[in-house]
Amino acid sequence: MTAAPHDRSHYSYSAYADPAMADGFDAARFSGPIGTLIAEAQERVLLDFVRPEAGGTVLDVGTGTGRAALALARAGATVTGIDASGQMLRVARERAGRMGLAVRFDEGDAHALPFEDRAFDVCVSLRVLMHTPGWRTCIGELCRVARRRVVLDYPALSSAAAFQALERKVRHALGARVEAYRVFRDSVIAAALGEHGFQVTGLHRQFVLPIALHKVMGSRQATERVECALERVGLLRLLGSPVTVVAERCASS
**What are 85-107's pLDDT values in tens digits?**
999 999 999 999 999 999 999 99
- Indicate whether 2 belongs to any domain: no
Average pLDDT over residues 63-83: 97
Does the residue 63 lie in any domain? Answer: yes
Say yes or no to pLDDT of 74 above 80: yes
Nearest-angstrom CA–CA distance, 190 and 98? 38
Whole-number pLDDT of residue 9: 79
Q: What are phi and psi of 5, to 5 degrees?
A: -60, 150
Q: Is residue 176 part of a domain?
A: yes
Structural domain count of the chain: 1
Q: Is the pLDDT of residue 39 over 50?
A: yes
pLDDT-derived band at 1, boundaries 50, 70, 90 = very low
Judged by average pLDDT, the poorest of 80-94, 173-187, 190-204 is 173-187
Position 80, amino acid: T
pLDDT attached to residue 6: 61
- Among 11-25, 55-69, 115-129, the minimum mean pLDDT is found in 11-25
The answer to whether 242 touches 155, Cβ cutoff 8 Å, is: yes
Q: Which of 47-56, 174-183, 210-219, 233-242 has the lowest mean pLDDT?
A: 174-183
Residue 1 resides in a domain: no
Domain assignment present for 4: no
- Contact yes or no for 29/127 (Cβ under 8 A): no
Query: CA–CA separation, 146 vs 124, rounded Å?
Result: 9
On the question of pLDDT at 139 being above 70, the answer is yes
Asked whether residue 3 is assigned to any structural domain, the reply reads no
Cβ 58 vs Cβ 121: under 8 Å:
yes
3 residue type, one letter:
A
- Domain range for 99 is 11-249
Residue 74's CATH number: 3.40.50.150
In-domain check, residue 5: no
Q: What average pLDDT does the chain have?
A: 93
Cis previous bond, 19, omega within 30: no
Contacts by residues 185-190 (CB-CB < 8 Å, ≥ 24 positions apart): 185/156, 185/157, 185/158, 186/156, 186/243, 186/245, 189/129, 189/139, 189/152, 189/154, 189/243, 189/245, 190/245, 190/247
Least confident of 8-12, 103-107, 139-143, 155-159: 8-12
